[in-house]
Copies of this chain bind each other. A is one copy, B any other.
Amino acid sequence: MRIGVVHETAAGERRVALIPQEVDGLRKAGHEVLVETGAGVAAGFPDAAYAERGAVIASATDVLGAEVVLFVRAPGSDPTLADALLAWLRPGQVTVGLADPLGAPAAAAALATAGITSFALDLLPRITRAQAMDVLSSQATLAGYKAALLAASRLNKIFPMLTTAAGTLPPARALVIGAGVAGLQAIATCKRLGAVVSAYDVRPAAREQAESVGATFVDLGLDAADAETTGGYAAALGEDFYRRQREALGKVVAASDIVITTAQVQGVRAPILVTAEMVHAMAPGSVVVDLAAAQGGNCELSEPDTEVDVDGVTLLAPTNLPATVPAHASRLYAKNLTNFLKLLIVDGAVRLDLDDPIIADTLVTHDGEVVAPRVRERLGLA
C-alpha cells in the first residue's frame, strides 16, 4: 500500500508521525512510504534521512493521495486541517492519528461525509495488548517531564537542597495534582531535580504509584470510590465533591513553590482544582503549570498557551508540551503508530476486524458514517 506522512500544520506542532527508522519496517512489509517535503525537519529528521531509508519525498498532494495517511494531529485534533484537507482526500482513504473526536466531533462528521475511514488513536482501549500503541501515554510521559522542567525554569528558587559555605538552601516544594502518566513523570522529574514532592489524585489506587516515584501522597480525607472508570481513566465526579476537594487542597497549594496539575477526564471539561483564591494565597515567585489547559484547565485563571502573572505567581498552561521535545516525541509516536499499523494492515490490505477492541474502539468513521458510539452521541446521532 501507499502510506503517506504529512507535514503537520497545527501552530507550534513540531512532531512528525513517522521517523526515518520506522520506514524500514513498512517497506519490508511491502508498502511504499511517501513523506511530505520537510515533514520531519522540525523534529530533527531531514528529508535526506527518510530518503536514505527508501521513502519517497513527495508533495502534499501526493501524500494526501496515499491509501493510508498518517498524522500526528489529524482533522479534529488539528483545528487548521479542515475543508482544504477534505477536498484532497477521496472516499475509501484511511487516516490514522490523534483526532480528538470527543472534543471535536464535527470534524468526525465531516470525515464521514467525505467517505474517509478514520482512526483516532486517542480512543485506544487501555488494555495490555494496546500498550505498545498507546500514544496518549507516550506523549503524556513527555508532557509530565517537560512540565516539571518548565516549573523549575520559572521558579524564583532552585529545586535541590544546596549546602554552601554561606548556609543551606532548603529544597523546593512541589505539588502534583493528578497522578496519571503525566503526573507520575512530573513527580519523578521534580524528585530527580531535588524537590520535595507531594501528590494528589482522586483515585485511591494512585497513592501507591505516586509513592513509588518519590512523592508523599496527600490524603484529603474525601471519599471518591467512583473516581476510576473500568477503562482505567479518571472519571468525572460531582461538583459537590470538587468543591470539598478544593477546600482541602487550598492549604497544600499555598505551601507549595510549584503546582503541576494534570487532571483530565476524557471528553469532558477538566475539573477546576486550583481556584483564583488559591493562586492568590501562593507566595510571589511560585509557579503553576496547568497541563489540562486544552480541556479547559485545572486552574481557574490559566489561559491556554499564555503566561499569566497573578501578583507575582506565574501561571503556565501549555497545550502541547510533547511538541517541545519533538525528536523523542516523534520517535515514540512513530513506534506506537507502526505497531497499530501492523494490526490494521494485514497482507497488504486494511482489515477492519471489529471483533478486535483496538480496531473497533479507534474506528471513528467508515463508509460514510460516524461509527464510534460516543462520537455519535455527541453529534446527536445515537
Contacts and interface: CB of A to CB of B under 8 A. Distances in A.
Interface of A: 14, 41, 43-44, 46, 131-134, 137-138, 141-142, 145-146, 149-150, 152-153, 155-158, 160, 162, 164-167, 169, 189, 192-194, 283-285, 312, 324-328, 331-332, 335-336, 339
Contacts of A44: 156, 283-285, 312
A166 B332 contact: yes
A14 B312 CA distance: 12
Nearest to A21: B167
A142 B160 CA distance: 11
Nearest to A323: B156
A332 B164 contact: yes
A113 to B, nearest CB: 33
Contacts of A328: 156-158, 162, 169
Contact of A149 (B131, B152, B285): B152
6 contacts: A43-B285, A132-B165, A141-B162, A142-B158, A164-B332, A192-B192
Contacts of A332: 164, 166-167, 169
Given A145-B158, A158-B142, A166 B285 contact: no
A327 B172 CA distance: 11
A149 B138 contact: no
A304 B166 CA distance: 30
